[in-house]
Amino acid sequence: MRWHAAVDVSDTLRALKARTFATLALSVSCAVLAAQGACSSKASQHTVVKPCTAGDEEPCTCADMTPSIQTCRADGTGYDPCACGAGGTGGASNGGGGGKSSGGASSKGGSTSGGEAGEAPGGTAGEAGSGGASGVRMDGTLGAPCAMTTDCVELQCIQTLNRVDGTLTVSGGICSLPCTSNSECPAGTVCNSTGAAFPGFCTESCAYGPESLDDFSQDKCHGRADFGCSPFTTAGVVQPTCLPLCSDDDCPMPLFCDLGTGYCAQNGLPGGLPTGASCPLGSANDPCTGLCVAVSTSMGDVGICRDLCILGDPDGCSHVDPNAAACLEGLGSPAGVGDGALCSQLCNCLADCMQTGLPCVALDEPIRGKSGYCGVLTPGLLPTVCP
C-alpha cells in the first residue's frame, strides 16, 4: 500500500506550474449518456463526459492546426465539426486553459501552498491563506484509510464492494458506512451508490484546487493518493466528491487497478487500448483500459481512450509505458493536486498522436522527455515544432 511518492517529481511539477491545470467542463454521468454514444459504456462512478447546451461554442483545432470554434448541436449531445472554412476563424475565448498537472507532487510531507492574496476594490489585498497539512490523515474518521474496523472511530472499515458483475476492492480501505442514499450518510458526506452497478458507501465532499496547491493536503480526501476529488452525479446534481482512484501499485496481486472505475479488480492484468487510442463511442464493449471519452476535434466528436488518475500522483498513467502518458486534465475546476483527472498521451510531433485530428500541443517545459501532449489547441496554445 502506497501513501508516498516513490520518485522525485520536482522537474515535472516545475513544468506543470508554468501553466494552469487543464480542465474539462463536465456535468452528467456516463450512465445517463452511454446510450447516446457520448462516453464510455463502463459503469464508472466518475463523471467524465462533456455534454453541451444547444448553441454553445467552444474552441477546436482545424486540420491546418489553426484554432477555431465549433457549435453545440440542437439536441445537446455534442458539437458540430470545427468551423474551418476558407480564411478560418479566430477561435473562441471561452475554452479551458491549457496546461498541465501531474506526474506531480507526492504526499510525503512538507507544508502545502496557501491561496494567493485576494484583492479588494478600493481596499488592501487580503493575506494569502495557508494550505492544509500534507501526508495522509490517519485519524479513523470518515474517509481515513483502514485495514480493520478497529482502525475506525464508530465506523466500519469498508474494503470491498459486491457488484452484479464481480467484487471490487477499495485501495487502502476506507472508514465509512454502507449506504444506498445520501439520507444514510452524515452531514458533509455523500453516498456514492449509483444503483445495482455500484452499491455504495459514504464518502467525503471536497473542493477542487486550488491551482497553487503543490502537495496532497489532509484537508482534501484525507490527503490520500488513492482517492481523488472528482465530479459525482447525485440526484441529478454534479458535486465534487472523494472517490477511489487507484494506480498500478495500489492493488495487491492478483488484483489490478481498473483504470475506468478507480477500484482494484480481479481477473489478471488489465487489457485493452491505452490512453490516446481511438475507440468507438457508445460501444457495448468498451475496448479501453480506462474509459472511451468523447473529445472534440476538427472532425467533430471522436472517442479517445483515457485512463483515470489523480493530479500529483507520480504513479498515475504509467501502467503501460511511464513515458507515454501523464495525468494532465482535471475533471473539475480549478484543478489542483489531489483532484481526479484523465491521462493524456505525450508527444513530440503531430504524427505521435494515435487519434487523427488531435495536434501535439506544446508544453512550456518537457515532461518525461516529451515536448507536448495530444489535446485540443485552444487560443493561446501552440503546436509543437517538429524537426
Lowest mean pLDDT among 29-33, 44-48, 123-127, 366-370: 29-33
Most confident by average pLDDT, 63-77, 89-103, 112-126: 63-77
Pair 99, 177 in one domain: no
pTM summary value: 0.70
Assess contact for 311 and 104: CB atoms under 8 A. Answer: yes
Cell of 90: 479566430
Banded model confidence at residue 193, pLDDT cuts 50, 70, 90: confident
367 lies in some domain? yes
290 lies in some domain? yes
Q: How far, in whole angstroms, is CA 325 from its chain's centroid?
A: 13
pLDDT given for residue 75 in this prediction: 54
Total domain count, the chain: 2
Pair 307, 350 in one domain: yes
Average pLDDT over residues 26-35: 30
- Cβ-Cβ contacts under 8 Å for 124 (sequence gap 6 or more): none
* Phi-psi category of residue 223: left, alpha or beta, with phi > 0 → left and psi -120 to 50 → alpha: left
366 lies in some domain? yes
% of the chain beyond a pLDDT of 70: 65
For residue 189, list its beta bridge partners.
Answer: 204
Q: Is 12 helix (H, G, I), strand (E, B) or coil?
A: helix
29 lies in some domain? yes
121 lies in some domain? no
Lowest mean pLDDT among 78-82, 141-145, 151-155, 218-222: 78-82
Pair 161, 243 in one domain: yes
Rounded Cα distance, 139 and 143, in Å:
9
Average pLDDT over residues 337-344: 94
Average pLDDT over residues 271-284: 87
CA-based angle 364:353:377, to the nearest 5? 50
331 lies in some domain? yes
Banded model confidence at residue 285, pLDDT cuts 50, 70, 90: confident
Average pLDDT over residues 63-90: 59
Q: How far, in whole angstroms, is CA 245 from its chain's centroid?
A: 9
pLDDT given for residue 84 in this prediction: 67
Which helix H or strand E contains 30, and what residues bound it? helix 30-33
Q: Is the confidence at residue 221, as pLDDT, over 70?
A: yes
Kindly report, residue by residue over 291-335, the tens digit of the pLDDT. Answer: 998 887 777 788 999 999 999 987 788 776 778 999 988 998 889
Pair 282, 369 in one domain: yes
With cell 469498508, the residue in question is: 158
110 lies in some domain? no
189 lies in some domain? yes
Q: Which residue has the higher pLDDT, 6 or 216?
A: 216
Q: Which of 224, 248, 265 is the last residue before a domain boundary?
A: 265
Kindly report, residue by residue over 168-178, the tens digit of the pLDDT. Answer: 899 999 999 99
CA-based angle 293:295:299, to the nearest 5? 135
Rounded Cα distance, 90 and 135, in Å:
45
Q: Which amino acid is at 368?
A: R
With cell 507536448, the residue in question is: 372
- Cβ-Cβ contacts under 8 Å for 320 (sequence gap 6 or more): 274, 289
Rounded Cα distance, 351 and 162, in Å:
43
Q: How far, in whole angstroms, is CA 173 from its chain's centroid?
A: 21
Q: What range does the domain containing 304 cover?
A: 10-105+273-374
Average pLDDT over residues 188-206: 85
Pair 335, 281 in one domain: yes
Average pLDDT over residues 254-260: 88
Pair 286, 185 in one domain: no
Q: Which of 213, 241, 265 is the last residue before a domain boundary?
A: 265
Question: Whole-angstrom distance between the N-terminal and C-terminal Cα of the chain?
Answer: 43
> Mean pLDDT in the chain?
73
